Amino acid sequence: MGVDIDLILQRLIRIYIHQVMIDGCLHADSHPGNILVDAKGRIIILDFAMVIRIDSYLKQHLIRYAIPVAHNDIDGIVHEMYELQIVEPGTNKALLRDLAVVMLEIQEQRPFKTPCENSIGKNCAFICIRSTCKQSTPSLEELPDDFLWE
């Protein structure tokens, strides 16, 4: 197909960061059927039935979460997991530390470098979309520009 997978991944990360930090919302149903790439390399995001609102409190905590991720700070990551309420109070901290270590190991093995490699958003999110970018549909030329990201 001739599409640069690494470039598509970088653009998807920027799209998601823009959704969260600028638009204040997030497409919450990202899977290979809802993210397509056309022959020109444009990203098409479909099915906006699951969109969540991101308020300023959550934005601040997502930024606070990104900082320890960028610095490989395991204890900081665990702390922000509690602050973001993505784990229940009383969850075994040793298990969460192990999880944070595995998450950092996975993201360090990623085959691309983001444009924000040395910034707060260094690792932006743990978006597992490599297979998603292999999706392509040649009949998407007629979609309105609102559905396309270049």
Residue 144 within a domain: no
Residue 143 within a domain: no
* pLDDT at residue 79 in the model: 92
Residue 149 within a domain: no
Edge-to-edge order in the sheet of strand 43-45: 35-37, 43-45, 148-149
pLDDT in tens, 40-97: 888 888 888 888 888 888 888 888 888 888 888 999 999 998 888 888 888 889 999 9
* pLDDT at residue 29 in the model: 84
Q: What percent of the chain has pLDDT over 70?
A: 71
Three-state SS string over 52-104 comes to EECCHHHHHHHHHHHHHHHCCCHHHHHHHHHHCCCCCCCCCHHHHHHHHHHHH
Total domain count, the chain: 1
Residue 145 within a domain: no
* pLDDT at residue 76 in the model: 92
Amino acid at 72: N
Q: Is the pTM of this model over 0.75?
A: no
* pLDDT at residue 118 in the model: 34
Angle ∠(59,60,65) on CA atoms, nearest 5:
95
Residue 150 within a domain: no
Residue 44: which domain range? 5-136
Asked if residues 143 and 43 have their Cβ atoms less than 8 Å apart, the reply is no
In this prediction, residues 12-33 reach a mean pLDDT of 83
